[in-house]
Amino acid sequence: MAAIPFQLENTGALQGVRLRRFWLGASVYMVCAPLLWFAYAAGFIQRDAVLLCTLAIIANNIAFYWIFRTGYNLQFVDPSLTWVQMLAGTVILMFTAYSFDRARAVVLLLCLVILVFGTFRFRVREYVVASMVMLMGYVGVINIAMWRKPETVDVWMEAFQWLALACVLPTFGYIGGRISDLRMRLRRTNDELGSALGTIQRMATHDSLTGLPNRVLFSETLEHALAQAARHKYPVALLFMDLDRFKNINDTLGHPVGDRVLQIAARRVAGAVRDSDIVARLGGDEYVVLVENYQHPQDLTEVAQKVIAALGAPLEVDGHSLAISASIGICTYPVDARDALELVANADAAMYRAKEMNPGASCFYAQAQDDRSVGRLELEADLRRAAERGELRVHYQPKINLASGRIAGVEALMRWQHPRHGLLMPEKFISLAEETGLIVGMGYWILTAACRQAKSWSDVGYPAVPVAVNLSARQFRQDDLVEQLAAILRTTGLPAARLELEITESMVMSDPDAATVTMKRLRAMGIRLAMDDFGTGYSSLGVLKRFPIQSLKVDRSFVRDLPHNGDDVAITRAVIAMAHSLRMDVVAEGVEHQGQFDTLRREGCDQIQGYFCKPPLAEVDLIAFLDEERLALRATAGDD
């Protein structure tokens, strides 16, 4: 017979189930033994036959007990030995029926008991086959009895009993098979529900991207750890870490690359700590490590250094060679915090302190950091309402043409007139705007304000100079960037040729093909494009010439040491020569003294901007400067 399919589970647990089933069958055999002696007393069966049947029952039970107890049954395809037990029971039953001289029908009722061995194991087909085996066995019993002791056989009675069994056994088997099928379906459904519940529970408690415990599970674990620490009087520490400049990876290389970085970072952090330490991802690029029962604060420093070293190892994702680091804040219980919420908040504050002071390092919590954290939250809340409150300002820094000495354009720079902190420079709030996603809305705000102002200047007779606006990486990646710019130009009435967009190398080099498509669409509108901070990224001449750029802006880091640093002079000369060969203008940033001015003019730079000429000006100051320019132009025209 083919073995019945069954599901393998834990071997020890299954063996226990099989032994319990065996004892259930053995108890039926034990009940049958006294009944045999009662049949002997009633004259239905001979004494010797009763002894043989009893010995067969005992031998059968001992044999199966030994097989299950020793695990020998595991060598069979079906370790439950369902068919073997059923066939053994059928043989004993048929021998017993043959041994009866009268009332065999009563004995044959035990066929139904034997079929019970197949409960939850047999399907309908197996039950019917087992029924046929029993019916064939009874045919054999009748024939042997007619040969060996015909005086005990009533042919018509035996035929009737056989027909009755032929009706009852298959029907009983069919019902049993249907029950078994239903049970198997219920078990599959239960397994599926259990698996689904397990999946749901894991989804609810683990981060789907990294597989680490999420904020929910970590909070429960932290509460339990602190309760244990309070009971047993040992310290607990929390390391709160944030990947430095991770948003740049997302903005420039895309979220798929960012996700791979987060997965790799999770594996590296988990591999750098002890097995007993709990690592979790709270969200974004924030991870925490819970360290229980450490000995000295130096132990925490060593853990942080191991994590930092692991994260700092070379990393390559989808062909991009990347360098990542993490700033780590460390807070301890019960010294620096009294509960879970305070421990997490203080570790977070320490992390921000580390990021501000020395990114890529660790910092222990100190009480003074609370004020800084609160201040940062307040600043973020104020920034979200800055535009609607009219607190954002635009200052303009002139660009001077070195050949004519006249204004060649202006760069629009954002300022924040904070009601309590006064006028804030971009370094005070731009990074916060990028982290919170506010930079996109602020970017379109300054574009609109600068375009509207530039149009108003020309309307009242000032020189029609171009206005340059910096694009953020997040803004450059917006699908509707071109449409938004078209709407701004249409609303403000500024000709597209008078708008210049400044982009950085990192923004376009992450996906040069997509960036080229976007830039060509902008150029088709007539907008000018400039590459800002040139020389600090990884542009090559082969890639650069593909971009429809009109200007290169030499980064101030190369201008700072002119003319005394020979390397900077050589780099500046090479950039100017390369740009001119590609028919691009060159603008030098950060010009602050005469030596830089003279060197740049001598090397052929086209435009400069910096404090040597003019600092960023409020609109009223720029108007005064434009008035001077207009008067100078009229004077020159009068002299002519």
Amino acid present at 553: K
In the predicted model, what is the mean pLDDT of residues 50-66? 81
Statement to judge: residues 234 and 337 lie in one domain = yes
Flag whether 3 is in a domain: no
Give backbone dihedrals phi and psi of 606, rounded to 5 degrees, phi first: -85, -45
Tens of pLDDT, residues 256-309 = 888 999 999 999 999 999 988 999 999 889 999 999 988 888 889 999 999 999
Q: Among 73-77, 179-183, 210-214, where is mean pLDDT lowest?
A: 179-183
Nearest 5°: the CA angle 532, 538, 541 is 85
Burial of 286 (0-12, 13-18, 19+ CB in 10 A): middle
Query: Dmax over Cα atoms in the chain, in whole Å?
Result: 152
In which band, very low, low, confident or very high, does the pLDDT at 183 lie, cut at 50, 70 and 90?
confident
Fill in the DSSP letter of residue 317.
E
Q: For the chain, first and last CA: distance in Å?
A: 116
Last residue in a domain, options 345, 367, 389 = 367
Instruction: Determine contact, residues 416/433, Cβ cutoff 8 Å.
Output: no
Statement to judge: residues 288 and 391 lie in one domain = no
Q: How far, in Å, CA of 238 to CA of 331, rounded? A: 5
**Which is more confident, 96 or 471?**
471
In which band, very low, low, confident or very high, does the pLDDT at 27 lie, cut at 50, 70 and 90?
confident
- How many domains does the chain contain in total? 3
| Predicted local confidence at residue 3, as pLDDT | 36
| Predicted local confidence at residue 606, as pLDDT | 95
- The Cβ of residue 198 has, within 10 Å, a number of other Cβ atoms equal to 10
Flag whether 640 is in a domain: no
Statement to judge: residues 537 and 598 lie in one domain = yes
Q: What CATH number is associated with residue 312?
A: 3.30.70.270
For residue 405 the two structure tokens come to: 């000495």
Helix (H) or strand (E) holding 513: helix 512-525
Instruction: Determine contact, residues 440/475, Cβ cutoff 8 Å.
Output: yes
**Dihedral of alpha carbons 222, 228, 231, 232, sign:** negative
Tens of pLDDT, residues 538-555 = 455 556 778 899 998 888
Statement to judge: residues 175 and 261 lie in one domain = no
Residues 6+ apart with CB under 8 A from 90: 111, 114, 130, 133, 134, 137
Statement to judge: residues 568 and 479 lie in one domain = yes
Query: In the predicted model, what is the mean pLDDT of the chain?
Result: 82
Helix (H) or strand (E) holding 405: none
Q: Among 218-222, 455-459, 506-510, 547-551, where is mean pLDDT lowest?
A: 506-510
Question: 561 vs 393, 556, 592, CA distance in Å?
Answer: 32, 9, 11
The answer, yes or no, to whether residue 410 has pLDDT greater than 50, is yes
| Predicted local confidence at residue 268, as pLDDT | 94
Statement to judge: residues 262 and 191 lie in one domain = no
Domain limits at 402? 380-628
| Predicted local confidence at residue 105, as pLDDT | 65
Q: How far, in Å, CA of 346 to CA of 369, rounded? A: 8
**Which is more confident, 449 or 36?**
449
Instruction: Determine contact, residues 374/427, Cβ cutoff 8 Å.
Output: no
**Dihedral of alpha carbons 210, 215, 220, 225, sign:** positive
| Predicted local confidence at residue 634, as pLDDT | 65
Flag whether 71 is in a domain: yes
Flag whether 414 is in a domain: yes
> Which of 285, 252, 246 is closest to 269 using CA atoms?
285
Statement to judge: residues 361 and 384 lie in one domain = no
Residues 6+ apart with CB under 8 A from 155: 146
Q: For strand 607-608 and strand 585-588, is the pairing parallel, antiparallel, or unpaired?
A: parallel
Statement to judge: residues 392 and 361 lie in one domain = no
Q: How far, in Å, CA of 607 to CA of 553, rounded? A: 9
In which band, very low, low, confident or very high, does the pLDDT at 8 lie, cut at 50, 70 and 90?
very low
In order, the DSSP letters of 156-191 are: HHHHHHHHHHHHHHHHHHHHHHHHHHHHHHHHHHHH
Flag whether 375 is in a domain: no
Last residue in a domain, options 339, 367, 395 = 367
Statement to judge: residues 404 and 291 lie in one domain = no
HSE (CB half, 13 Å, CA atoms) of 254?
A: 12
> Which of 435, 424, 356 is closest to 386 using CA atoms?
424
Share of the chain above pLDDT 70, in %: 87
Flag whether 426 is in a domain: yes
Fill in the DSSP letter of residue 287.
E
**Dihedral of alpha carbons 138, 143, 145, 151, sign:** positive
Q: How far, in Å, CA of 613 to CA of 288, rounded? A: 49
**Dihedral of alpha carbons 563, 565, 567, 568, sign:** negative
Q: Among 179-188, 340-349, 574-583, where is mean pLDDT lowest?
A: 179-188
The answer, yes or no, to whether residue 528 has pLDDT greater than 90, is yes
Residues 450, 455, 460, 466: what is their CA dihedral angle, to the nearest 10 degrees? 80
Q: For strand 278-283 and strand 315-317, is the pairing parallel, antiparallel, or unpaired?
A: unpaired
Residue that is written with structure tokens 């439950």 in the block: 80
Tens of pLDDT, residues 309-368 = 999 888 888 888 888 889 999 999 988 888 999 899 889 888 988 887 788 889 898 755
Statement to judge: residues 294 and 410 lie in one domain = no
Q: Among 18-22, 276-280, 459-463, 598-602, where is mean pLDDT lowest?
A: 18-22
| Predicted local confidence at residue 458, as pLDDT | 87
Highest mean predicted confidence (pLDDT) among 9-23, 425-439, 527-541, 576-590: 576-590
Q: How far, in Å, CA of 289 to CA of 287, rounded? A: 7
- The Cβ of residue 546 has, within 10 Å, a number of other Cβ atoms equal to 14
Tens of pLDDT, residues 125-169 = 777 777 788 778 778 877 887 888 887 777 787 777 778 777 777
In the predicted model, what is the mean pLDDT of residues 448-455? 94
Share of the chain above pLDDT 90, in %: 28
For residue 98 the two structure tokens come to: 């043959």
Last residue in a domain, options 176, 200, 224 = 200
In the predicted model, what is the mean pLDDT of residues 604-608? 94
Statement to judge: residues 196 and 242 lie in one domain = no
Q: What CATH number is associated with residue 431?
A: 3.20.20.450
- Residue 237: strand pairing partners: 291, 332
Q: How far, in Å, CA of 354 to CA of 580, rounded? A: 44
Residue that is written with structure tokens 């921000």 in the block: 352
For residue 161 the two structure tokens come to: 């009993």
**Which is more confident, 77 or 103?**
77
Tens of pLDDT, residues 199-216 = 667 777 888 889 999 988
- Residue 586: strand pairing partners: 552
Statement to judge: residues 333 and 246 lie in one domain = yes
Task: Write down the H helix ranges in 8-123.
Answer: 11-41, 47-70, 82-99, 104-108, 110-115
Residues 6+ apart with CB under 8 A from 21: 80
Q: How far, in Å, CA of 309 to CA of 268, rounded? A: 9
Flag whether 639 is in a domain: no
| Predicted local confidence at residue 198, as pLDDT | 67
Flag whether 372 is in a domain: no
Task: Write down the H helix ranges in 389-477.
Answer: 430-436, 439-459, 473-476
